[in-house]
Amino acid sequence: MDFAFTDEQMALKKQVIRFAGHEIVPRCAEHDLKSEFDRKAFKRLGEFGILGLHFPEELGGSGADVVTTVLVGEALGEAGVDGGLALSYGAHTFLCADTIFAHGNDEQRRRYIPKLASGELIGCMGLTEPGAGSDVAAMRTRAVKKGDRYVLNGSKIFITNGPIADVAVVYATVNPAAKHAGISAFIVERGTKGFSVGAPLHKMGVRTSQTSELFFDDCEIPAENLIGSEGEGFLMAMQTVEWDRSALVAPFVGAMSYALKKCAQYASERRQFGRPIAEFQAVKEKLARMKIFIEAAKGLIFRIAWCKDQGRPLNHLEAAVAKLFIGDWSLEPANAAMSIMGGYGYCHEYEMERMFRDGRLAPIGGGTSEIQKMIISKLM
Amino acid sequence: MDFDFNKLERDLLSKIEEIIKDESLPNPDISRHAKPNEIALVLRAWLERLGNSGFLAEPAGPGRLAAQLELAHRSPWLALASDIGSHVLCDLISRHGSDEQKKAFLEPILKGKKIAAVAASETLSGSVQKTMNTIAVKNSGGFLLTGAKSTVSLGPMADIIGVLGQIKEGMALFLVDRGQPGVEAGDPLETLGYRELCTCPIALHDVIIEPERIIGPFDSSKVDLLQELRTAWDQVMGAVACGTMRLCLDQARAAADVKRTHGKPPAGYQSVRFSLAEMLTLSQTAEILVLRAAWAAASGDPQAASLGLCAKVFATKNACEVADKALQIMASAGYTKPNPVERALRDARLGTIMGNTSEVAQMAIADNVLERF
């Protein structure tokens, strides 16, 4: 066993923390307050190479492995980047772009990946429906082939980047009776007739990521926008789980490191009863609990990333364990962080309030903790 | 990065699996009515098996830890009892002993020929050096060691006891034969768990210690024997905690499939299934963390000390949690003796106390965090 990162990986992590700390973090609070997507920051992520990090160089990426990609996600959180921007990046790169890259044909890759990698285009994924969340087989959005076109009808909900996306990977069933086997994936571009998006939803956290419904009303798309073959969509959606349990949750782990740093600094400066509160055991214990969570979570996400690098099929049990742990066991240290900061933690200007709200998504997004427990108990 | 075991690590794991395969490992309940000498017989037989295989002499690291974890999965008591000598005491001897001392004392323990114990805690000092009252004074043939140790695991059955005490120049490790005149092991204490360790007080009355049986003394600003001892205990307790979690999961899973309530097994109820899922999550998370900590310690990672403490706190705390959940699933069957989960729940409680207590460890983790930022 060897848990070391390479020198190059660690150097890149430092670079990302420095870059994000200087160029992105100072902008986060204002955008969060206004619930605005930070298009400039997103574009800078593309220019820095983060949006397309794991894609091949000929498609505008850097050819990084999965471990490095996850490490960069962790670095964004550790730098203090808000959960909303990190989520937008995750939905864009791993749920949209990677699906096109991994399952699309050469033409689709050439057409979309370089622009998605640079941030010129913004991507989203439409899977969840009002009546079909984790129960994907209950999907009602239909795709009917008519000649050289598909006609989509239905709606999607809770779609990250929905209001701002130029390209959507949309899942719809071509054969409802076939359940999972009928689900297929399509590329739908903004502006396509019959495709519209709802107003951004007001959310508790991750506010800088824009979330909305997607509507398909006799939305016609060219047949060549089908990704892979009909009926392969369910497997494609499942493969995004590998990213979801590693790269998409990595910023949450990184954010806890940022919170730990901020809490430690605050506790050293804040004096009560004639001494820094860092000298009180009750405060130290909270710092320790945060640190223990971080170290425990890291092992889980990098295990999934490393296995993906080895080309191994996703171990759904391990993936669910990672998601469940980071979702449910992060709440207590997040609460501890808030307590250390006291009244300041509760106020928007001190970041902790935002991080607390952003972190609450972890046990919900990408499959709730309850779904993870169902998966684990079924597989164990 | 490599999450797989390498060949050497796999071989070691296979070795331990081979030893414990199809064997009747020490019955979890052997001590209910057993006396220390009867327990010692069982322990000696197993130490010899483990020693002959070379397992006890394996260096620390992820492979050794994984093998120890697997042993603890089958018998937490045996894993702990074997590690007291081969890991905790032998670590100190190999790090600080002379070549002659290593030759004389390491081999019998690592070959499984001798049972070893470590005596550090005292009634009034716990494991705090400056208040430690076990003192050695020089006499013509060496030193005379006097003091009282409050809780010495394997005390009544140990052949050799590593006693921590003070000489004028600093703390030292005294390698004492239990049969030496002046060494008096008390009756085993009534303990919540790990009763087969027969933890007892040991009194030392002018025990003659020859110079070749003394490691040290050390200037505590340079070598902190007590801290090294606690670190070794932490690694041991982390591995044993993980093995305990596996054991509890096995038992709870089996019970959840069999026992019937209102016409269906407990596993038919979502709350039971979710409880099992939480147990597995804690177990897997703890295992990766203790393996990473073992790797960090073996590879000299600068964050090894802090990571080791995180692993110990997380694994030992959650071993209690997992054992408790297992017992809840087993209900009255888990609450009655003899059964491995009732015992595991009691045994697991030692983990948060032994070595660095959870509280001490958390303070050290926080100090490290505060230093970094």
Do residue A75 and residue A130 come from a single domain? no
Task: Give the pLDDT of residue B127.
Answer: 56
Residues A65-84: tens digit of each pLDDT? 999 999 999 999 999 999 99
- In sign, the C-alpha dihedral spanning B317, B320, B323, B328 is negative
Q: What amino acid occupies position A218?
A: D
Which domain-ending residue is among A122, A147, A169? A122
Shared domain check, A12 and A110: yes
Q: Would you state the structure tokens that stand for residue B206, as one six-digit string?
A: 């002018």
Average pLDDT over residues B151-159: 96
Q: Kindly state whether residue B194 falls inside one of the protein's structural domains.
A: yes
Give the Cα separation of A71 and B64 in Å (integer): 28
Question: How far off is chain A from B325, nearest CA to CA, in Å?
Answer: 14
Contact flag A324-B286 (C-beta cutoff 8 Å):
no
Tell me the residue range of the domain where A60 lies: 7-122
Same domain, A83 and A206: no
Q: Which one of B173, B190, B218 terminates a domain?
A: B218
Six-digit token string for A52? 């397309």
Count CB neighbours of B57 within 10 A: 17
Across the interface, of B63, B280, B368, the residue whose CB is closest to A321 is B280
CATH at residue B167? 2.40.110.10
Closest CA to B58 of B116, B6, B111: B111
- The answer to whether the peptide bond before residue B265 is cis (omega within 30 degrees of 0) is no
Whole-angstrom Cα distance, residue A211 to residue A161?
6
Whether residue B74 lies inside any domain: the answer is yes
Structural domain total, chain B? 3
Give tens-digit pLDDT for A3-15.
Answer: 999 999 999 999 9
Q: A377, A378, A379: best mutation site toward chain B, by most B Cβ within 10 Å?
A: A377
Q: Output the DSSP codes for A271-297.
A: EETTEEGGGSHHHHHHHHHHHHHHHHH
Shared domain check, A364 and A308: yes
Give yes or no: residues B244 and B357 share one domain.
yes
Residue B186 lies in a domain: yes
The pLDDT score that the predictor gives to residue A245 is: 87
Cα pseudo-dihedral A353, A358, A364, A370, rounded to 10: -50
Final residue belonging to a domain, choices A103, A122, A141:
A122
Q: Three-state DSSP class for B331? A: coil
Give residue-wise pLDDT tens across range A302-320: 999 999 999 998 899 999 9
pLDDT digits (tens, 9 = 90+) for B288-329: 999 999 999 999 999 999 999 999 999 999 999 999 999 999
As beta bridge partners, residue A184 has: A172
E-only strand ranges, chain B = 116-119, 135-139, 142-152, 160-167, 170-177, 183-185, 200-209, 214-218
Q: Would you state the pLDDT for residue B207?
A: 97
A223: left (phi over 0), alpha (psi -120 to 50) or beta: alpha
Beta-carbon contacts of residue B193 (< 8 Å; ≥ 6 apart): B343, B345, B346, B347, B348, B349, B350
CA distance B313 to B306: 11
Question: Could B289 and A260 be called an inter-chain contact, meaning their C-beta atoms sit closer than 8 Å?
Answer: no
Same structural domain, A202 and A250: no
Pick the last residue of a domain from B218, B240, B268: B218
Residue A160 maps to a domain? yes
Residue A63, token pair as written in the block: 């050819």
Domain final residue, candidates A236, A259, A284: A236
- ipTM, two decimals, is 0.95
Chain A residue with Cα closest to B286? A296
Q: Which of B62, B274, B363 sits opposite A377 (nearest CB)?
A: B274
Same domain, A142 and A21: no
In a domain? residue A168 = yes
A363 CB-near residues (< 8 Å, 6+ apart)? A327, A328, A330, A331, A369
In the chain, the amino acid numbered B90 is C
Least CB–CB distance from A264: residue in B281, B301, B369: B369
**Do A282 and A211 fall into the same domain?**
no
Q: Residue A224 belongs to a domain with what CATH number?
A: 2.40.110.10
Residue (of B80, B120, B36, B111) closest to B238 by Cα position? B80
Contacts of B285 in chain A (CB under 8 A): 296-297, 299-300, 321, 325
| Boundary-marking domain end, from B218, B246, B270 | B218
Q: Give the CATH number of the domain where residue B19 resides.
A: 1.10.540
Identify the band that residue B357 occupies on the pLDDT scale cut at 50, 70 and 90: very high
In a domain, B2, yes or no: no
Q: Are B71 and B20 in contact (CB under 8 A)?
A: yes
Q: Is the residue at A2 inside a domain?
A: no
- Identify the CATH number of the domain in which residue B299 sits: 1.20.140.10
Domain with A324 in it: what CATH number? 1.20.140.10
Cβ–Cβ < 8 Å for B253, B279: no
Instruction: Kindly list the residues from chain B whose CB atom is less than 8 angstroms away from the CB atom of residue A372.
Output: 277
Domain that holds residue B138: 116-218
| Domains held by chain A: number | 3
Residue in A with minimal Cα distance to B270: A374
Q: Are residues B106 and B128 in the same domain?
A: no
Supply the DSSP string of B61-125, one letter for each residue. Answer: SHHHHHHHHHHHHH-HHHHHHHHIIIIIIHHHHHHH--HHHIIIIIHHHHTT-S-EEEE--BTTT
Q: Is residue A1 part of a domain?
A: no
Q: Nearest residue on chain A to B253, judged by CA atoms? A: A380
Q: Are A251 and A366 members of one domain? A: yes
Q: Do residue B89 and residue B148 come from a single domain?
A: no
Q: Assess contact for A240 and A125: CB atoms under 8 A.
A: yes
Residues B364 and B259 in one domain: yes
Total beta-carbon pairs less than 8 A apart between chain A and chain B: 134
Which site among A70, A266, A292, A324 would you substitute to test the B interface, given the most B Cβ atoms closer than 10 Å to its Cβ?
A292
Residue A30 placed within a domain: yes
Q: Are A373 and B2 a contacting pair at CB < 8 A?
A: no
